[in-house]
Amino acid sequence: MKDFIRLTRPTNLVIITVTMFLMRYGVIGGNLERGLNQLMSEVGDVQRDQLIVPEGFGPQMPLVHFILLVLSTVLIAAGGNIINDYFDTRIDRINKPDDVIVGRTVKRRVAMTGHAMLSGIGFVLGAFVAWRSGLLQWAAIPAFAIGALWTYSTSFKRKLILGNGLVATLTALVPLTVGLYELPLLQRSFSEPWVVGLPNGDQFQMEPVFYELWYWILGFSVFAFLSTLVRELQKDMADVKGDEADGCRTIPIVWGMKWARVLAMVHIGIIIALLLFLRSLLLRDPLSYWYIGLAILGPLLLSAGFTYQAHSRSEHVRAGAVMKVAMVMAVGYALLIRYIP
């Protein structure tokens, strides 16, 4: 059982879970709290607990439905990780022989059955949440994710660029899914402005700017997409020996390690440029300035340096690990949004 759980890559599943909760409570809930903070600063001499806010103020998706949505995403990701290792056995025997699980401690039929069960349950939960939320069209999301993960493992992983792009798209879909559910539900709830009361009897109407919330969600999704492209390139450079033996056509194999390294660093440069642009244009407060500069840009620059200097597999793995730190820290920025002036 322990090795079967290892196949699901529980660390990645925890990151998915945290990301989705931070999109709900950090990005969406945090921006709504920012509106209350701005109201308090305009009125003066009012504390947060003195405000009379309407019942249900905050993210609108029922908590049980949101938990089921997260569980659906996690189960599908776990099934995808299992099927990826199932089809990567030959590659892993070359790149990391000590870490091969499928066919050794976990039988191949057990891995395949586990993939089918986790993916199936994940789809049912996702379709149920879409139906109960009145957004049945989003049942296509778990269906797409399951099909994409299977296609990646069986075919696209071995094709030039397609595999990297597909994984990056699936990663970006994690924060985006929260917005695709929460924001339409908020729009319904705000069909009439919510009224916030003050202790003295004054009342104020709150009308959230929904396009701004979309910008936040899309910003995190774009970061997830670009940073995952970098991670995929770093992984391809680390795994080039086994990939080549299995007939894969990854960028390091087809275009060479030099161009793969250049592409990874160019994408890191694009991410840094976008962050600097946002920080100078929109996020000028000291908290954002220092957090972005130290917690996100720092690991990005370090990962770029490691990528430039990497020659062995362990060095490419190290560059990818630092990139993952940058991704986690970027998600963590959602905790600060409610405190931005």
**Residues 6 or more apart whose Cβ sits within 8 Å of residue 174:** 16, 19, 20, 73, 224
pTM of the model: 0.94
Instruction: Kindly state the tokens that stand for 40.
Output: 């308090």
pLDDT digits (tens, 9 = 90+) for 83-123: 998 988 888 788 888 778 987 888 999 999 999 999 999 99
Burial class (CB in 10 A: 0-12, 13-18, 19+), 212: exposed
Whole-number pLDDT of residue 120: 98
Whole-number pLDDT of residue 8: 95
Q: Is the pLDDT of residue 41 over 80?
A: no
Whole-number pLDDT of residue 51: 79
CA distance 9 to 22: 20
Q: Mean per-residue pLDDT for 42-63?
A: 80
Task: Give the length of the chain.
Answer: 341
Burial class (CB in 10 A: 0-12, 13-18, 19+), 280: exposed
Q: Mean per-residue pLDDT for 199-217?
A: 81
What type of residue is 75?
L
Give residue 3's pLDDT band: very low, low, confident or very high (50, 70, 90).
confident
